[in-house]
Amino acid sequence: NVAADAVMTLAYIGVRGGYVIVTADDPQCYSSQNEQDNRFYALLSNLPCLEPSTPQEAKDMTVSAVELSEELGLPVLLRTTTRVNHTRGPVVYGNLTKPKLKGEFVREPSRLVMVPANARPMHVKLLEKAKKAEEISEKLPYNTVVYKGNGELGIICSGSAYNYAAEATSLLGLDVGILKLGMTHPLPERMIGEFLKTYKKIVVVEELEPYLEINVKAIAKDYAPTAEIYGKMRRSYFPRKGELSTRAVVTGLAEITGKKPPIDFGEIDSKYAEAVKDLPSRPPILCPGCPHRASFYVIRKVTGGKAVYPTDIGCYALGFAPPLSIGDILICMGSSVSTAQGINKATGVDTVAVIGDSTFFHAAIPGLINAVYNNHKVTLAVLDNLTTAMTGHQPHPGTGTTGMHTTATKVLIEKVAEGCGVKYVRVVNPFNIAEASRVLKEAVQYPGPSVVVFRAPCTLMLMSEKRRKGIKTVPCRVTDRCTNCMACIKLLGCPAITIKDGKVSIDETLCTACGLCASICPYKAIECGGS
């Protein structure tokens, strides 16, 4: 979504070399805040779109996408899904060509400067390229009839949906034709039209929105107006939400064909429910020793849970769950600081927005400037763990290291905030509870925007560095002064702290000796590092 503004105009401008945009959809919202179907971006932008169904196709289509981009002079979308991205399989490589590492800028204002006078003729050129792409789609080997069947039932599918469809038809013993589409924009209209003529019933199997179904029905009006087309529209044979599965496709095809599924899914559900009923829940949780846990404890302690806490995209989004309960609204990257302003303006309630270090650089600065410009009384808590932890510890502008592990200028969050005009900016160590609490209290009471940077390294990085240096971690331990008041469990939710034989216990294999539990224990019953 963040790239949409640029992509829509880049389609007009076109490209000189190969340009592939990988867009990863997430059916089932495994790690995303929505299940949007990005195939519609291809339709909206008039850009070609390829959809792989296997690891081999993912590799092959990437190569083809580069070649197609060079041929058309357009960016090409490679639309993957979570299931394809997390699939393992053998991949055969081809020849690796040597890339051209240095380019040349050629001045072409009429093509590159998108003022209205230039944009209008470039739109015409884009439509011409799109027409050429239509002809390519008709001949592209990724669009193919995989099985011919007996002429009664035909299935049209794309991407991972093909895998489910192939397995489902095999389980049901159906003799069907399958048209597998690897290029889903532009669609091969003539190929689809001929396929429609061949079969009495057409089933469209796809994940998320009925993108293919809408187009297939439009094509059918010209090629096979009497064809019976089944999918998700009107009567829904397949789910429009969540990730597709072999079971979902078997169920839909069984309803369409009248075939009885060879598997009793109800019995499977009963056995599953029986098997998992006594298993403990394992919700995602912050790691033992995570500095964000200390930051959340301070925020809740200072505000008494009475403020509103807009949160953002990152590990710290897990703070919304009890017992930390810091996270009242989350929309997208950078939304925390903006929604905090609207909520404070509308309600007058104190708002403490929470955002991570890398997300701050990516998307918080315009919102922060807006807070300064309009003098909104909001506090922005920047949780700086010195890395982009959630996605694999990539560096960001505040780390002083590039993605290629070369030294870079370190951009300090506090200096950026000051440069935006924020008058109250402080940096604290979240594990210093007393000092962090004092500073945050000042920030919340400040009559204008305030920024508090909670800075402490990600515990995963810290523990890794300790292991490399041979530094032994002495875990915390519960002493006999413990009264079982449960403050450490009720307030922190650290996975290293458990109940064993009715008493508070610390799992030595998980404890990182961060000392947070010792800091908040009212009876000083926890010792860390021998003290």
Residue of 224, 212, 222, 197 lying closest to 156 (CA atoms) = 212
Residue of 228, 227, 265, 272 lying closest to 247 (CA atoms) = 265
pLDDT grade for 531, boundaries at 50, 70 and 90: very low
Report pLDDT digits (tens) over 207-258: 999 999 999 999 999 999 999 999 999 889 999 999 999 999 999 999 999 9
The reply to whether 291-464 and 472-527 are identical in fold is: no
Is residue 309's pLDDT more than 80? Answer: yes
Computed over every residue of the chain, the mean pLDDT equals 95
Superfamily of domain 4-94+102-139: Thiamin diphosphate (ThDP)-binding fold, Pyr/PP domains (3.40.50.970)
Report pLDDT digits (tens) over 281-291: 888 899 999 99
CATH class of 144-262: alpha beta
Length of the chain: 531
CATH topology for the 472-527 domain: Alpha-Beta Plaits (3.30.70)
> Is residue 244 within 8 Å of residue 212, measured between CB atoms?
no
Q: Which pLDDT score is estimated for 530?
A: 53
pLDDT grade for 299, boundaries at 50, 70 and 90: very high
- 194/257 Cα distance (integer angstroms): 22
> Is residue 384 within 8 Å of residue 415, measured between CB atoms?
no
| Six token digits for residue 136 | 């390519």
Architecture of domain 291-464: 3-Layer(aba) Sandwich (3.40)
Report pLDDT digits (tens) over 91-121: 999 988 888 888 889 999 999 999 999 999 9
Type of residue found at 41: Y
Strands 497-500 and 503-506: antiparallel
Type of residue found at 243: E
b/e for 491-517, b at 16 or more Cβ within 10 A?
Answer: bbbbbbbeeeeeebebeeeebbbbbbb
pTM of the full structure: 0.90
Give the H/E segment covering residue 228: strand 228-230
Residue where the block lists tokens 């394992």: 282
pLDDT grade for 445, boundaries at 50, 70 and 90: very high
Report pLDDT digits (tens) over 67-87: 999 999 999 999 999 999 999
Strand partners, 62: none
| Six token digits for residue 298 | 């301070």
- 310/329 Cα distance (integer angstroms): 5
Residues 6+ apart with CB under 8 A from 192: 156, 179, 215, 216, 219, 223
| Six token digits for residue 353 | 């927005």
Q: Which pLDDT score is estimated for 280?
A: 85
Per-domain residue ranges of the chain = 4-94+102-139, 144-262, 291-464, 472-527
| Six token digits for residue 344 | 């404070």
Report pLDDT digits (tens) over 316-354: 999 999 999 999 999 999 999 999 999 999 999 999 999
Q: Which pLDDT score is estimated for 14?
A: 96
> Is residue 160 within 8 Å of residue 168, measured between CB atoms?
no
Q: What mean pLDDT is predicted for residues 387-412?
A: 93
**Dihedral over alpha carbons 505, 510, 515, 519 (to 10 degrees):** -40
